[in-house]
Structure 1
Amino acid sequence: MTTKNNANRYVGRLAPSPTGLLHVGHAATFWAAHERAREYNGRLLLRNEDLDPQRSKVEFVEAMVEDLAWLGIEWEPPMISQSERRELYRAAFERLLEAGFVYPCRCSRKDLARMMHAPHEDVDDELVYDGRCRPAGEALSRSLVPEMNYRFRVSDGEVVRFVDGDVGAQNFTARVDFGDFLVWRKDGLPSYQLACVVDDAAMGITEVVRGTDLLKSTARQILLQRALGLGGVEYFHTRLMVDEHGVRLAKRHDALAIRTLREHGLSREDVLAMAG
């Protein structure tokens, strides 16, 4: 699939999580997604990544929809909410289990909290797993262990390569750059990686536009796509915005929230200029 040569098939997406207010860094990435869809006369969909019941708030959903509209970012309704799609994720997880790609894991609460979010929502990317729960040998059990978390077993030394539309050729090595990664929680919720892959396929996404903090996630998601027999997508990872100290913007940067900037009298053009 080459989106540039087949404009009629282009489908992009916006995928904010309602765990805080959108900031100017989001504006930069989402505007890039909007412009890519316009360039190819394609469709742009909105996915509400609200899987985390503890941090996802209705008021943030309302705020993100309003802020996107205020920025002039147009998307095709209806909005898709991940909290309403759990059966799809469960079916994908069971396919991974039956095919022998995953194994049960008892580690740690911190990892379980991290797996619910895109890595850019946290201080660090998902750490390379030390393999303490990894079964010996190559064969993995295909029987479900109740009330257990599950990891995807990567092939040691496998190099995942892809060419990004913005930052060029990329390669990441399994068990060096990333390890066995979490895909399922014992409370019945998928990881960010699994939910993202399932939704991108179900929504017919042809190009994912997001920040460079998710490049390693792309390698993991490519492995999941292959394991599930799903078609691949193209990627366009935008450079991250940073604050005056060189720290990437996050939802804790309240002063740079789109809502705050609007309240201080900045116009849409002002905010987009900051984002550019």
Structure 2
Amino acid sequence: MSVPYIGRLAPSPTGLLHIGHAHTFWIAYERERAAKGKLWLRDEDLDPQRSRADFAVAMREDLHWLGITWEAEMRQSERVDLYRAAMEKLLLDGLVYPCSCSRKDLQHATQAPHEDSDDEPVYNGRCRFAAAPKAILTPNTNYRFRVPDGEAIRFVDVHAGPQSFRAGCDVSADFGDFLVWRKDGLPSYQLACVVDDAAMGITEVVRGRDLLKSTARQILLQRALGFPTPSYFHADLMCDDAGVRLAKRHDALSLRAMRDAGLSPQDVRDRFPEQRSPGA
């Protein structure tokens, strides 16, 4: 018997959704509908400085206006105890360590990202060999996941094809020890995403190609926590006229601005690019 398809939309209420978000979310919606499955809306509101209630309302309104519906919802800010439990397991298993590096330290102890993206720099392991951490979560402390040095994390993306990213702390690595817990008592994006995808029973994650490397990190966390690994579909990104990847700073390309300008949902969907096949 085949496993039912379960997908998710995961917007953050830190700004208005733009056409790039709409493009990815529409793909997720269409793939779920084609599979006759279930779609979650996950409100990724863990950023206390930037998350706003009016943006949370707007993202739901704009998605419904576009024609996207879902069957269930969750809010990450209501699930911190679950993230803490996962973090405590990583601590007990000796897979994470405290990091005392300041912003200035990190500027001197990391190399630049390998590509033009929002990806974090490769950490050089400065705190990795410090005193053995206690198996109790220490307040006001950042923690990093200890990656397997030199291991290539491989997966086959449904859309982007075969992928391989090398873990480690040397200059040839694609990614290094990454943050999983912040000193403000909240999980990183990587840990929260893994815990929630497992709890929701997600069978396929649809998101942008800028998060391909995050998938390698999340596979390591899934392995460490005993969670299954879903399928991944990393959609092509939309760019502005200058070739810059769309972000929430592109207010003129927000769904709300397009609605106010009189565009219809179909007008917006007609602007979505065709997805390229692997190697195209």
TM-score, structure 2 normalization = 0.89
CA–CA distance in structure 2, aligned partners of residues 145 and 269 of structure 1: 51
CA–CA distance in structure 2, aligned partners of residues 233 and 32 of structure 1: 17
The one-character-per-residue Cα deviations of 1:233-265 (angstroms, maximum 9, x if unpaired) are 100000000111111000000010000011111
Find the counterpart in structure 1 of residue 179 from structure 2: 182
CA–CA distance in structure 1, aligned partners of residues 192 and 149 of structure 2: 24
Tell whether 2:78 aligns with 1:84: yes
Q: Which consecutive unaligned segments of at least 5 residues does structure 1 have?
A: 113-118
CA–CA distance in structure 2, aligned partners of residues 271 and 111 of structure 1: 45
Tell whether 2:15 aligns with 1:20: yes
Amino acid aligned to 1:234:
S
Find the counterpart in structure 2 of residue 107 from structure 1: 101
Q: Which consecutive unaligned segments of at least 5 residues does structure 2 have?
A: 107-112, 274-280
Tell whether 2:148 aligns with 1:151: no
Does the Cα contact within 8 Å between 1:101 and 1:140 map onto a contact in 2? no
Tell whether 2:187 aligns with 1:194: no
Find the counterpart in structure 2 of residue 273 from structure 1: 270
The one-character-per-residue Cα deviations of 1:211-243 (angstroms, maximum 9, x if unpaired) are 000000000000000000111110000000011
SS of equivalent to 1:161: strand
Does the Cα contact within 8 Å between 1:11 and 1:207 map onto a contact in 2? yes
| Greater relative CO (CA pairs within 8 A, separation 6+) | 1
Does the Cα contact within 8 Å between 1:14 and 1:47 map onto a contact in 2? yes
Does the Cα contact within 8 Å between 2:118 and 2:210 map onto a contact in 1? no
Deviation at 1:123, TM superposition (A): 5.8
Find the counterpart in structure 1 of residue 32 from structure 2: 37
- Aligned partner of 1:61 among 56, 60, 83: 56
Where in structure 1 do 4 or more consecutive aligned residues deviate above 4 Å? 109-112
Tell whether 2:43 aligns with 1:48: yes
CA–CA distance in structure 2, aligned partners of residues 50 and 111 of structure 1: 28
Find the counterpart in structure 2 of residue 96 from structure 1: 90
Find the counterpart in structure 1 of residue 222 from structure 2: 225
SS of equivalent to 1:275: coil
Cα RMSD between the aligned structures? 2.1
Amino acid aligned to 1:40:
A
CA–CA distance in structure 2, aligned partners of residues 240 and 92 of structure 1: 32
Deviation at 1:155, TM superposition (A): 1.1
Deviation at 1:188, TM superposition (A): 1.0
CA–CA distance in structure 2, aligned partners of residues 222 and 111 of structure 1: 28
Tell whether 2:212 aligns with 1:212: no
SS of equivalent to 1:262: helix
Amino acid aligned to 2:121:
L
Does the Cα contact within 8 Å between 2:139 and 2:185 map onto a contact in 1? no
CA–CA distance in structure 1, aligned partners of residues 130 and 47 of structure 2: 32
Deviation at 1:9, TM superposition (A): 1.1
**Greater CA drift, 139-148 or 180-189:** 139-148
- How many percent of aligned residue pairs carry the same amino acid? 68
The one-character-per-residue Cα deviations of 1:141-162 (angstroms, maximum 9, x if unpaired) are 5354442110001011110000
